[in-house]
């Protein structure tokens, strides 16, 4: 099998677009989530991300990386989160992947991606950000910390999970969620959407036995 | 469809194990990676993670969340990274998932997971951390920033990609990598491994057209 080696110098010499496509491939699969936010005038925004990650379960913390609004490239999610300190993460199924992908188009701030891309807003009592109605997984987060990262001008926001909604059928007996039952998609790179199957489940690993399927 | 609602109070009232299983399910699918490190005496370590994420492509930055060594729960990756400022990320295929999962067992520092779990070390010139031989995707990172996160005692390390190795067959014409050609696995929660298919590829989204498959 022929293997390609890429050095740091070769990375530096690539065009910005080629490097972005390559480097965005490196983390592998991530689940796409639709981030719902609004500003203080209830102008809503919906944006697809795959830069969210688990930070810890006690307290229950999820974080994500966002780019600021530079004018050249309008991005409204970070500003809305800093204004209202709230956001929602909404999973989606493969039949909605094209509409979810469409939220990455550069809509102006006055045009909500909920409307432009055909998603219905769902407001829940005492939560400042809109959820995506009928999403198989809905997560409401409130801002706990905001870290501007000077290394490249991105921002990390850390949220505490305030409420969750998921289908009863997706709950395993041990409390974990079966992602395949929810039909969540995985994203590869910047443009490829796939729905993984049930997969192989392994028991917690111990030093005295090899890992075994459950 | 019956939907379960979980409030922040209910999350706080859960057992630690149940909450960990649930909250680790929320980010959805992530690709499992084996992190190769060594200490200043060449004692190697290999650990499975799914907390890595894309931070930016210019410069090419990948970050990950690590827990410190508390004595109670021995974790050696962070210490090794702070010692040598280097680590590798190595993808794996489904036929190696059980051995990759096995690296999460609590081996003592003197026992390398490379040996205990049946992975061969590959040392490359001028790189301080060991790669996993025959991994379909090998990424060498050097430490750029270290952020202890006081909110829950975890640590974020930010690395710059110094070198990459991947199969020529996985390289798309535009520079992105086809994850399915490499056979990378996606992980759901803490214990479920699956190999996604080729999936649906969508063109970059514009405001004047609906997203279309390529």
Q: Which residues of B touch A191 (CB under 8 A)?
A: 176, 201-204, 214
Among partner residues B5, B59, B139, which is closest to A26 by beta-carbon distance?
B139
Query: So what's the pLDDT on residue B125?
Result: 87
Q: Please report whether residue A9 resides in a domain.
A: no
For B63, B83, B88, B140, B198, the CA distances from B78, given in Å and listed in that order, are: 12, 9, 13, 16, 34
Query: So what's the pLDDT on residue B72?
Result: 66
Does residue B16 carry a pLDDT above 70? yes
Q: How far apart are CA A179 and CA B188, in angstroms?
A: 7
- Contact (CB, 8 A) for B73 and B154: no
Residue count of chain B, please give it: 214
CB contact under 8 A, B28 and A191: no
Q: Which of A32, A48, A52, A54 to probe by mutation at the B interface, max B CB count within 10 Å?
A: A54
Q: Which residue of B has its CA nearest to A189?
A: B176
Q: How far apart are CA A189 and CA A209, in angstroms?
A: 36
First to last CA, chain B: 34
Q: Please report whether residue B129 resides in a domain.
A: yes
Q: How far apart are CA B124 and CA A32, in angstroms?
A: 35
Output the CA angle A185-A52-A206, nearest 5 degrees. Answer: 80
> What value does the CA radius of gyration of chain B take, rounded to a whole number of Å?
19
For A213, B35, B92, B95, B184, the CA distances from B188, given in Å and listed in that order, are: 14, 18, 15, 17, 13
Q: Please report whether residue A91 resides in a domain.
A: yes
Tell me the pLDDT band of B213, cut-offs 50, 70 and 90: confident
pLDDT digits (tens, 9 = 90+) for B101-146: 999 999 998 999 999 999 999 999 889 999 999 999 999 999 999 9
Q: How far apart are CA A64 and CA B65, in angstroms?
A: 12
Q: Please report whether residue B56 resides in a domain.
A: yes
Task: Give the position of tokens 């974790």.
Answer: B75
For residue A59, is the peptide bond before it cis, meaning its omega torsion is within 30 degrees of 0? Answer: yes
Q: How far apart are CA B176 and CA A22, in angstroms?
A: 4
- Contact (CB, 8 A) for A119 and A52: no
Does residue B30 carry a pLDDT above 70? yes
Q: How far apart are CA A188 and CA A25, in angstroms?
A: 7
Tell me the pLDDT band of B21, cut-offs 50, 70 and 90: very high
- Residue A203 is given by DSSP the state P
CB contact under 8 A, A60 and B204: no
Q: What is the mean pLDDT of chain B?
A: 94
Domain containing residue B60? 27-194
CB contact under 8 A, A167 and B1: yes
Q: Please report whether residue B7 resides in a domain.
A: no
Q: What is the CATH number of the domain that holds B77?
A: 2.30.110.10
Q: Which residues of A touch B20 (CB under 8 A)?
A: 57-58
Q: Which of B11, B17, B27, B169 to probe by mutation at the A interface, max A CB count within 10 Å?
A: B27
CB contact under 8 A, A191 and B214: yes
Rounded average pLDDT over B76-91 = 96
Query: So what's the pLDDT on residue B126?
Result: 86
Q: Which residue of A has its CA nearest to B28?
A: A31
Q: Please report whether residue A19 resides in a domain.
A: no
Q: How far apart are CA A116 and CA A44, in angstroms?
A: 11
CB contact under 8 A, A104 and B205: yes
Q: Is B5 helix (H, G, I), strand (E, B) or coil?
A: strand
Q: How many domains are there within chain B?
A: 1
Residue count of chain A, please give it: 214
CB contact under 8 A, A196 and B194: yes
CB contact under 8 A, B199 and A192: yes
CB contact under 8 A, A191 and B168: no
Spatial CA neighbour of B50 closest among B14, B11, B92: B92
Q: Which residues of A touch B183 (CB under 8 A)?
A: none
pLDDT digits (tens, 9 = 90+) for A131-177: 999 999 999 999 999 999 999 999 999 999 999 999 999 999 999 99
Among partner residues A101, A167, A211, which is closest to B101 by beta-carbon distance?
A211
Q: How far apart are CA B67 and CA A131, in angstroms?
A: 32
Read off the tokens for B200.
């649906």
Q: Please report whether residue A211 resides in a domain.
A: no
Q: Which residues of A touch B137 (CB under 8 A)?
A: 26, 28
Does residue B210 carry a pLDDT above 90? no
Q: How far apart are CA A88 and CA A128, in angstroms?
A: 9
Does residue B27 carry a pLDDT above 70? yes
Stretches in chain A below the pLDDT threshold 50: none
Rounded average pLDDT over B71-97 = 92
Among partner residues A22, A179, A204, which is closest to B188 by beta-carbon distance?
A179
Query: So what's the pLDDT on residue A1?
Result: 74
Q: What's the complex ipTM?
A: 0.94
Query: So what's the pLDDT on residue B96?
Result: 96
Question: A30-34, B72-76, B157-161: lowest mean pLDDT where?
Answer: B72-76
Q: Which residue of B has its CA nearest to A174?
A: B18
Shortest distance between the Cα of A40 and any Cα of chain B, in A, equals 24
Q: Please report whether residue A131 resides in a domain.
A: yes
Q: Which residue of A has its CA nearest to B103?
A: A205
Output the CA angle B7-B9-B11, nearest 5 degrees. Answer: 70
């Amino acid at each position: 099998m022929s293997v390609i080696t890429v050095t740091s110098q070769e990375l530096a010499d690539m065009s910005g677009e080629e490097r972005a496509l390559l480097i965005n491939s490196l983390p592998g699969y991530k689940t796409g989530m639709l981030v719902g936010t609004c500003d203080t005038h209830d102008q809503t925004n919906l944006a697809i991300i795959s830069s969210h990650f688990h930070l810890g379960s006690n307290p229950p913390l999820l974080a994500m990386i966002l780019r600021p609004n530079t004018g050249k490239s309008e991005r409204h999610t970070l500003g809305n989160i800093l204004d209202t300190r709230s956001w929602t993460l909404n999973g989606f199924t493969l039949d909605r992947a094209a509409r979810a992908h469409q939220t990455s188009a550069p809509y102006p701030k006055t045009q909500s991606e909920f409307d432009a891309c055909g998603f219905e807003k769902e407001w829940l009592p005492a939560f400042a950000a809109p959820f995506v109605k009928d999403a198989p997984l809905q997560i409401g987060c409130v801002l706990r910390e905001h870290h501007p990262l000077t290394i490249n001008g991105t921002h990390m926001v850390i949220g505490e999970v305030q409420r969750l909604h998921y289908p009863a059928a997706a709950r395993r007996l041990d409390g974990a969620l079966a992602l395949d039952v929810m039909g969540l998609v995985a994203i590869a790179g910047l443009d490829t959407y796939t729905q993984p199957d049930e997969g192989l489940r392994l028991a917690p690993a111990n030093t005295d036995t090899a890992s075994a399927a459950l």
